[in-house]
């Protein structure tokens, strides 16, 4: 037989129910997904003459059930350099932040009393940052080990990446721009020649200084120094570039404004083999070495002996260069490295694509619309939806490599491709964002720390002829998220 409830017990039950009801009424409602854009964002989009159907918006507060904004977020769009987020996040998890690339030098003959009676074989594994300085360190190590004279050829072992018939003019008909340099297992100094334009008012002339100075690259300086506004100074140089894999000629036939001060421009004009040969000869001579051979592709034979090597910076450092400065060449090197490490050499784009998709599947992420060409965003066919790019960022925040990924992104109004953006705005310094830019494409993706200390994933992609007007829309979106 049940005992009747005592009055004090009943009172406690009633009070508990009242407290629970009050808590429910006081609690904020579950965050609802907005299928419409915030008014300032919609207004900026209209002023930019970009139809809503050509854009995608996704914003999701960390820990929330539903996104703040999801407008056009399912569309498969070209993200431009926004795809580097996928490539670098995959690299951080699959390779690890401490991963380094190695470049090796082998003696292809007997080494006695400083004389190498055979070839010098240099083997690359796809180092994205084998700069002039690091290449010099490799050669300096050879000299330090007693190598003085090389009586054979310089043999380049580039077999870690599959051979590719790469056309640097295919993407945008600017073959001399370094961002159009193709990937290579032995990519030295981005295959770039750095030209410094120095005005000399007293002599009424412009001096051009090349670094490195390669005998295969002829510089013709017909520039006239004037007092015009600096403006679009590159176009006024009137460059006439000629040549190919073995030799090149850069003729400057325009003018340069004294008010520009010193300016720098990088050019890529030689094939990989001739570039490495020219740089090797110059540096080896400066180091006091002797070499009269040629260059050819090949591999270290069974009798070759490892005599020197150099390591790249860690991948965590390289990821910063890739994302903060949107370096396409380094991203392509990383993309192929994922294929080589994950599926075996020689690395191919198909292997890299497969490795990344397997990694996504292992994380429970399904991106059926995803199209990968080279992992850098320098592509007309790469595709991803704003929602899935946002889901990737949400997953990345739960990853052990989250700090390295976020630290690699440009900080609004502080550095990288965001250095000159949002200066003076409240969101300045509060958003880590990867930008993307191609003709007809603008994107932004990353993390915003809002005024209440809540972190929000944000993605915006525009594919439209007026995409160049999208910066004001991006800024309006970031400001709204920060101040909401």
What local confidence, expressed as pLDDT, does residue 63 receive?
97
Is 454 exposed, middle or buried (CB count within 10 Å of its CB: 0-12, 13-18, 19+)?
Answer: middle
The range of the structural domain enclosing residue 472 comes to 39-98+315-483
Based on the fold, state whether residues 210 and 351 are members of the same structural domain: no
Q: CATH number of the domain at 151, please.
A: 3.50.80.20
Using the 3D structure, point to which of 286, 311, 336 is the last residue of a domain.
311
Looking at the fold, whether 403 and 450 belong to one and the same domain comes out as: yes
Cα Rg for the chain, rounded, in angstroms? 28
Contact (Cβ atoms closer than 8 angstroms) between residue 327 and residue 110: no
Question: Vertex 377, ends 373 and 378: CA angle to 5°?
Answer: 85
Q: Which two tokens stand for residue 191?
A: 């295959």
Query: Which of these three, 267, 290, 323, is where a domain ends?
Result: 267
Structural domain includes residue 187 = no
- Do 473 and 331 belong together in one domain? yes
Residue 28 has pLDDT above 50, yes or no: no
Q: How confident is the model at residue 34 (pLDDT cuts 50, 70, 90)?
A: low
My answer on whether 145 and 199 are in the same domain is: no
User: Is 364 found in the same domain as 285?
Assistant: no
- Is it true that the peptide bond before 222 is cis, omega within 30 degrees of 0? no
Same domain for 125 and 91, yes or no, is no
Mean pLDDT across the chain? 93
335: in domain: yes
pLDDT for position 373:
98
* pLDDT-derived band at 33, boundaries 50, 70, 90: low
Residues 205 and 340 in one domain: no
The answer to whether residues 361 and 431 belong to one domain is: yes
pLDDT in tens, 188-224: 999 999 999 999 999 999 999 999 999 999 999 999 9
User: Are 135 and 148 contained in the same domain?
Assistant: yes
CA–centroid distance for 121 within its chain: 30
Q: What percent of the chain has pLDDT over 90?
A: 87
Q: Does 5 fall in a domain?
A: no
Tell me, yes or no, whether 27 lies in a domain. Answer: no
Say if residues 393 and 446 touch (Cβ distance below 8 Å): yes
Residue 7 located in a structural domain: no
Residue 164, pLDDT above cutoff 90: no
Assess if residue 129 is contained within a domain.
yes
> Are residues 45 and 163 located together in one domain of the fold?
no
Edge-first strand listing for the sheet containing 248-252: 217-221, 248-252, 239-243
pLDDT in the model for residue 25: 42
pLDDT 10s digits, 410-438:
999 999 999 999 999 999 999 999 999 99
Domain membership flag for residue 174: no
Do 289 and 148 contact (CB within 8 A), yes or no? yes
Question: Residue 378 belongs to a domain with what CATH number?
Answer: 3.40.710.10
Q: How many CB atoms lie within 10 A of CB 333?
A: 30
Integer CA distances (angstroms), 226 to 209, 217, 263, 452, in order = 19, 27, 15, 53
Q: Inter-axis angle of helices 328-343 and 349-362, to 10 degrees?
A: 70
Please write the tens of the pLDDT for every residue from 243-301: 777 899 999 999 999 999 999 999 999 999 999 999 999 999 999 999 999 999 999 88
Residues 116 and 153 occupy one common structural domain: yes
- 415 with 325, same domain? yes
Q: What is the pLDDT of residue 302?
A: 87
pLDDT at res. 23: 43
Is 22 contained in some domain? no
pLDDT over 70 percentage in the chain: 93
In the chain, how many domains are there? 3
């Amino acid at each position: 037989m049940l005992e009747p409830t005592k009055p004090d017990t009943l009172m406690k039950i009633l009070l508990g129910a009242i407290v629970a009801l009050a808590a429910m009424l006081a609690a904020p409602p579950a965050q609802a997904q907005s299928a419409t854009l915030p008014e300032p964002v919609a207004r900026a989009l209209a002023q930019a003459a970009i139809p809503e159907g050509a854009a995608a918006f996704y914003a999701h507060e960390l820990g929330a059930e539903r996104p703040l904004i999801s407008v056009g977020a399912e569309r498969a769009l070209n993200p431009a350099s926004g795809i580097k987020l996928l490539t670098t996040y995959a690299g951080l998890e699959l390779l690890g932040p401490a991963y380094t690339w190695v470049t090796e030098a082998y003696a292809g003959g007997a080494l006695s009393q400083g004389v190498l009676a055979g070839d010098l074989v240099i083997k690359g594994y796809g180092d994205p940052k084998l700069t002039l300085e690091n290449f010099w360190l490799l050669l300096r190590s050879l000299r330090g080990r007693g190598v003085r004279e090389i009586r054979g050829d310089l043999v380049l072992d580039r077999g870690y990446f599959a051979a590719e018939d790469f056309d640097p003019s295919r993407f945008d008909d600017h073959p001399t721009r370094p961002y159009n340099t193709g990937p290579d297992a032995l990519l030295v100094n981005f295959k770039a020649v750095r030209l410094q334009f120095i005005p000399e008012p007293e002599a009424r002339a412009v001096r051009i200084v090349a670094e490195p100075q390669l005998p295969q690259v002829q510089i013709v300086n017909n520039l006239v120094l004037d007092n015009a506004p600096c403006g679009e100074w590159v176009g006024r140089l009137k460059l006439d570039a000629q040549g190919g894999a073995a030799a090149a000629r850069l003729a400057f036939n325009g003018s340069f404004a004294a008010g520009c001060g010193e300016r720098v421009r990088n050019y890529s004009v030689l094939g990989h083999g001739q570039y490495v040969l020219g740089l090797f000869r110059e540096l080896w001579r400066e180091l006091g070495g002797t070499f009269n051979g040629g260059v050819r592709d090949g591999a270290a034979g069974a009798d070759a002996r490892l005599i020197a090597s150099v390591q790249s910076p860690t991948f965590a450092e390289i990821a910063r260069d890739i994302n903060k400065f949107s370096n396409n060449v380094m991203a392509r090197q990383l993309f192929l490295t994922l294929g080589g490490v994950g599926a075996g050499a020689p690395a191919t784009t198909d292997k890299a694509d497969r490795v990344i998709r397997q990694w996504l599947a292992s994380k429970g992420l399904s991106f059926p619309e995803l199209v990968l060409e080279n992992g850098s965003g320098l592509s007309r066919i790469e595709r991803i939806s704003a929602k899935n790019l946002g889901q990737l960022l949400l997953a990345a925040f739960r990853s052990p490599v989250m700090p390295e990924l976020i630290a690699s992104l440009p900080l609004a109004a502080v550095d990288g491709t965001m250095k000159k953006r949002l200066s003076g705005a409240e969101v300045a310094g509060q958003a880590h964002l990867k930008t993307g830019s191609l003709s007809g494409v603008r994107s932004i993706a990353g993390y915003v720390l809002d005024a209440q200390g809540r972190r929000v994933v944000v993605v915006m992609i525009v594919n439209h002829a007026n995409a160049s007007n999208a910066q004001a829309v991006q800024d309006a979106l970031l400001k709204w998220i920060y101040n909401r």
